[in-house]
Amino acid sequence: MTKNIYKIVFGCMLCLLAVACSEDDKKSSGFSVDKEVLALGAEGGKEFINVNSDCSWTATSSEPWITVSPANGVGNAVCEIVVDSSLVNDLRTATVRFTPGVLPAKVITVNQTGFDKVIVPAKEEIVIESSANYDDRYFEVEVTANVQFNVQFDFFGNDEWMTTGVAGIELDRGARPRTVKLRFDWKMNTVPEERQAQIKFVPVAEGDELKTPAAITVRQKAAVKIEDNRAGDSIALVVINERLNCWSDSWDTSENMQYWEGVKLWETADEDLPCEEAVGRVREVAYYMLNTKETIPSEVKHLKYLESFTVQGNVNTMLLNIELGPEICELEYLKYLEIFSYGLVSLPSEFVKLGNTLETLNLSANNFATIPEILTPENFPKLKSLNFVGSRRWTVSDLRNKDDVHYTDGIGMNINTGTDNSLRRLMLWENLEELALSNCYIEGEVPDFTVGEDGVVAYSQTDVDAWGGDTIQYLADNAIPKILPNCRSLRINLNFFTGDLPQWLLYHPYLLEWVPEILVFNQQEKGYNSAGELVRFNNVPQTFDYYYDVFPGMREKFELKEEITEE
């Protein structure tokens, strides 16, 4: 029995010991983390948390912009907390909760500051050349921002010489800054002084105040100085050649200008020499085969004694809308001006300055929609030749289709004489010796005139006598309107005329010199005007017998000419 009592007592002691050990184990079990608060900037980043644990645990974040790795475990561990970059401008807060089984959770507060409202260009200053080829005259700048902005320019009193396209930025991630690349196009500097401008980036919203103003300073190098002398002429010629981007071989500048192709200098023996100072200066220059989208380079104004200027053959002229600049109008001695196939659409108001000298104006194969109003006999009393041949952007044979969207910026010179007096104005130009309007889109009837209206007079006996006798007596006897009386060349073929040829034209004293069957009578083959009418004249003469009947002297003159030609 005594043994049994001992066994019972010993068993109770073991039970009490086990219970005591269990309580001690519970008291010794623990869980902790080494941080309670995390603070990060707007860009986000990583933080590490030391977890001390005697048991299993899990970790969760209250916001999706925080991730924890590992998110669970048993015992001690190092957890990586990754905070994404902010999407807002203000402070944002979240929590990370560590839960160790049945024990109380540990909570870490995460505070993240927001982004400042910023616009930050990648460069603070840019230096550009004074000139370059048209397609190379631009620079690009990366701008990082988290607010919408506009671009403003400060040219410090100079003309505007920089532009940019649509500015702005796609803020698809809230206040998180995005980077955009902006293109800035610039114009050439034509003065021998450096110029500066400032590009400012200004928030669109009034409440978006920047911590630091955003701006770029742009410095453009000075142009080559061109002096008023022979050397200055040579520099001007070369600069014009470069800026027109001529395809032809460049001049050998080591040679005298008199050997440069397309260049002619004034000589002492020249009958029309403006003055002694002009000797050796440029009298004529011609440029061919070019590629530009801009007006004639401003350096042309430095060719002080220029008498003849020619530029021909630009690229893709049908797509261009070039306005002639005023610089060429500074030339006081210019008599011959040819700007052929260049892409012109207008003339400047300053063009009248050439009125006292200009004798020949060839603006063929450009994109004029009508005859510029500035071209009048009052403005250009010395002009003898005016040429607008081939003023077509596109090839159209049916003018009912002229407004098709495919014909960018119109089809070309489309004049309806029923509503537009441009052609009528030209035909009242008494001094013109040549008027060329072939291959345009002129429709309607050839203007007719009534003696006594618009200053129109009839041929008089004085005109007959001045002609040399009774050769053109018919004109005076029948009071034929005196239209283009000095015109030795009229070209209006390949247009869209309809109706009757007027009497002043059919009996013009120079009709046969015009080669009318080719350069007057025949119109666009199978062409239709805007009203859908087949274009042609109703009264084209089949022979010129009617003409010889009233001008018998003409028969003798032209038949004799034919005999000499045949021999």
Digit-coded pLDDT (tens) for 7-57 = 444 444 444 434 443 444 444 358 999 999 998 888 899 999 999 999 999
Amino acid at 83: V
Is the domain spanning 119-220 CATH 1.20.120.530? The answer is: no
Q: What is the mean pLDDT of residues 189-205?
A: 92
Q: In Å, what is the CA distance from 511 to each residue of 368, 451, 469, 538, 547?
A: 28, 20, 18, 18, 9
Cβ-based neighbour number of residue 179 at 10 Å:
11
Q: How confident is the model at residue 6 (pLDDT cuts 50, 70, 90)?
A: very low
CB 413 within 8 A of CB 369: yes
What is residue 263's predicted lDDT score, i.e. its pLDDT? 96
In CATH, the architecture of 31-112 is Sandwich (2.60)
Residue 174, sorted as left (phi over 0), alpha (psi -120 to 50) or beta, turns out to be left
Once rounded to an integer, what is the mean pLDDT over residues 372-386?
97
Mean pLDDT of 430-450: 98
Contact status, residue 328 vs residue 306, Cβ threshold 8 Å: no
Burial class for 407, CB neighbours closer than 10 Å (0-12, 13-18, 19+): middle
Tell me the three state secondary structure of residue 199. strand
| Neighbouring C-alpha atoms within 13 Å toward the C-beta of 234 | 14
Q: DSSP state, 392?
A: B
pLDDT at res. 14: 41
Measured CA to CA in angstroms, residue 36 lies from 95, 106, 111 at distances of: 10, 8, 11
Stated as kind and residue range, the H or E segment containing 466 is helix 461-467
Does position 349 have pLDDT exceeding 70, yes or no?
Answer: yes
Neighbour count for residue 552 (Cβ, 10 Å):
14
Terminal Cα-to-Cα distance of the chain (whole angstroms) = 169
Q: What is the pLDDT of residue 464?
A: 93
Q: Among 411, 441, 437, which residue's Cα sits nearest to residue 524?
A: 441
Return the pLDDT at 403. Answer: 93
Strands (E), 173-224: 178-186, 195-203, 214-220
For residues 311, 312, 313, 315, the Cα torsion angle rounded to the nearest 10 degrees is 20
Q: H helices within 98-248, ranges in order? A: 230-243
Dihedral of alpha carbons 332, 333, 335, 341, sign: negative
Q: Is the pLDDT of residue 71 over 80?
A: yes
Instruction: List every span in the chain annotated with CATH 3.80.10.
Output: 230-460+480-546
Q: How confident is the model at residue 102 (pLDDT cuts 50, 70, 90)?
A: confident
Tokens of 486: 């000095």
How confident is the model over 319-328, as a mean pLDDT?
96
User: Which contiguous run of DSSP H or E holds residue 16?
Assistant: helix 2-28
DSSP letter, residue 330: G
The overall average pLDDT reported for the chain is 90
Tens of pLDDT, residue by residue over 406-415, are 998 999 999 9
pLDDT band of residue 1 (cuts 50, 70, 90) is very low
Q: What is the pLDDT of residue 564?
A: 46
List Cα–Cα distances, 400 to 107, 233, 310, 396, 438, in angstroms.
Answer: 80, 50, 36, 9, 20
Sign of CA dihedral 247, 253, 259, 264: positive
Would strands 119-121 and 178-186 be described as parallel, antiparallel, or unpaired?
unpaired
Tell the residue number behind the tokens 């990586």, with chain if given. Answer: 80
Mean pLDDT on 470-485: 94
* Distance separating alpha carbons of residues 404 and 400, to the nearest angstrom: 9
Range 234-244 average pLDDT: 92
pLDDT tens-digit series, residues 495-537: 999 999 999 999 999 999 999 999 999 999 999 999 999 999 9
Contact 98, 59 (CB under 8 A): yes
Q: What's residue 118's pLDDT?
A: 86
CATH 2.60.40.10 positions along the chain are 31-112, 119-220
Residue type, 427: M
Whole-angstrom CA distances from 297 to 189, 238, 263 are: 11, 11, 17
pTM, 2 dp: 0.75
CA pair distance 266, 283, nearest whole angstrom: 5
User: CB–CB of 354/309 below 8 Å?
Assistant: no
In this predicted structure, what is the pLDDT of residue 21? 37
Q: pLDDT band at 549, cuts 50/70/90?
A: very high
Which residue, 94, 82, 86, is CA-closest to 46? 82
Query: What pLDDT sits at residue 29?
Result: 58
Tally of CB atoms within 10 A around 397: 12
Model confidence band, residue 171 (pLDDT cutoffs 50, 70, 90): confident
Q: In which region does residue 19 sit, left (phi positive, over 0), alpha (psi from -120 to 50) or beta (all else)?
A: alpha
Higher pLDDT, 168 or 541: 541
Decide if 265 contacts 257 (C-beta within 8 A).
yes
CA–CA distance, 116 with 209 (Å, rounded to integer): 9
CATH code, 230-460+480-546: 3.80.10
Strand partners, 142: 181
